[in-house]
Amino acid sequence: MGRRTRSGYFESVPGGGAAVALDEVEVSILRSLAVQLLELVGPGDQPADAQDADPLASLFTEGPSKPPEDPALARLFPDAYDQTADAAEFRRFTENDLRARKRDDALAMVRGLDAGGSVVELTPDDARQWLGALNDLRLTIGTRLEVTEDETSELYRLPDDDERKPLVMAYLWLGGLQESLVEALMK
């Protein structure tokens, strides 16, 4: 792919996509995080035979009516309203689709990374999925770190021996990737 890009920064490509140069360690970390996101999101409460089901019937497959107990999943699948019957109904009919989209986004990232090479080129559709996956990864890590607007400055000054330091570094790195992808797509 003879494209030259700055390492770790997305740049726009003709046709509306983006490209990023990543070294082997960055690819490994990003792939590992995406796989962990896939495991976290999981299949949801879909019936085992959902893939073989009638497509029309699958539109009416109901999902869970309660928010997830895991704080990271609750952040990825928030209530649409206050804790009311409306929120439970909304969740029942939307969470499975949202879960499937989040899985598709993370899988697109894994596939893009597995394609090999030092430069990952994304079509506009791939870039949209990567943006979704990067956002979901940041939300998940931010939830695990209990990031709030007031606390972020403390997290940025952690000593090197703090067990949260690698997560903070990943959180910041993912934010930089996400920001550079948005900027590349806006050009």
Taking only the tens place, the pLDDT of each residue in 151-182 is: 567 888 889 999 999 999 999 999 999 999 99
Residue 1, domain member (yes or no): no
Residue 3, domain member (yes or no): no
Residue 180, domain member (yes or no): yes
Tell me which of 8 and 135 has the higher pLDDT: 135
Residue 119, domain member (yes or no): yes
The total of structural domains in the chain comes to 1
Residue 81, domain member (yes or no): no
Q: What is the pTM of this model?
A: 0.81
Query: CB pairs under 8 A, 24+ apart, for 29-32?
Result: 29/170, 30/109, 30/113, 31/109, 31/110, 31/113, 31/114
Domain that holds residue 155: 11-46+98-186
44 has pLDDT over 60: no
Residue 167, domain member (yes or no): yes
Residue 51, domain member (yes or no): no
Residue 52, domain member (yes or no): no
